[in-house]
Structure 1
Amino acid sequence: MSGAGQDIGAALPDDERHNSVWSVRIGPDGFFDVSDVRRALLVPASFSRPEDITRLGYSHPVSDITFSECGDRDVMRLGERGGFRNLGLNMENAFARPHEARALRYALNPAGAWLSSGRYDVGFYDRRNEGQPFVRANCASGVAFGYGYAPRGWSIDRTKPDQTVWLSGDVLCFAPGATTSTDDAEVNGIQGTPAGAVDELLPSGAASRLSRRRPALSACGPGAILPHRR
């Protein structure tokens, strides 16, 4: 927030300054029932340094929500989107800042509350140049369920619904032979990840100092099994 909006936000209680997800009941007529509006959850903070919170807030807004259609219905996945901007069509990452958005997993507990149950590593880049948290937060807002795959041939196995998570992201990997990050070397697009490859929301060490000469935290997703050249 900026200007007057920033002043209003600074005056709010701390939990009201976090991004949140709400639910609204749909009546039998298909219209929203405004008498039943609830806050389902507060999005956990991504940034902890005061300078980052002042500039970015505690996290970026959730821009995509998906639920399991075929499997367990007590799982919800959220996709964040980096901070909005408008640099012009000819500029790199013109409309959103990259490397600042997470893909989050939530589960419904017996009391009916959505509780955070982890995060998906998106892409290889680990924020070593941006600073803490040193996680693979390259989500570009899109998140969806998909079928699992046969162990041989990588064909879709329709007996395994909702066993893959599809995520849109920035810098998912680098072109073969690339040693530096450039427009031509970076590969952006859609990442497929096993539904069970869930990492901690904030792994131990993600907020510590990190040398740019060594890799960041090990990944639970694709960064754990594929080479990363940078």
Structure 2
Amino acid sequence: MRRARIAWAGAVHDAVEADGQLELLTPALRRRRIGFDEVVWLPPLAPISRPRTVLALGLNYADHAKELAFKAPEEPLAFVKGEASLIGHKAYTVRPDGVNFMHYECELAVVIGQTAKRVKKADALQYVAGYTVANDYAIRDYLENWYRPNLKVKNRDTCTPIGPWLVDAEDVPDPMNLRLCTSVNGQITQQGSTKDMIFDVATLIEYFSGFMTLMPGDLILTGTPDGVVECQPGDVIVTEIEGIGALTNTITSESKA
């Protein structure tokens, strides 16, 4: 099932995709259907829970590490992001005025569905509620080291669109064999596959839950393959993952935000 969270008619609703429309799950409006363009899309995390923790991976694809002239890491390289960085499908991301290099990162996002602590790899996927698409923008002007970016590189308001759908885990039989694709203004600029991750989803859940408790709604952003390019105000970026969805986002300048 493909789930969404939207704002419509002055209220926030949970919805599911139904025949190319959104079918509302709000009890008083049960089975009411509306068009995709009639709503404001929100991060598709409820009704599971708001994320307490957003974990993001650096250099989790060998080709991306090579692109940045780094060797592949021997253990997951992770950093933490705040919830304010998250926005929904078709929303606007602010590019700070005066920066020289800001780029997208198409990533498979894992949404935790139940409390996970000291989980074994063989059992890890049982703790996943579903998957969505993330676009984890980076501003390289602020970079101090490639391995664990400081807050200004990654943890910025509006700089992590996610959505449009939360796809139930049971509907994604193999999260490690999904095609990824990014286009900028209709031109394909990035292609890859989740099979090329250095640390797969199950490994990451085992790793993180080994020293911290993962809670329902927590997010793991699993990294991006090579092919990142700079984005300017006005650019429309579509990050798409096979079977999960196509996330559209537009860059705006800080002075216009």
Scaled by the length of structure 1, the TM-score of the pair is 0.28
Higher helix fraction (1 or 2): 2
Scaled by the length of structure 2, the TM-score of the pair is 0.26
Higher relative contact order (CA 8 A, sep 6+): 2
Compare CA radii of gyration and give the structure with the larger one. 1
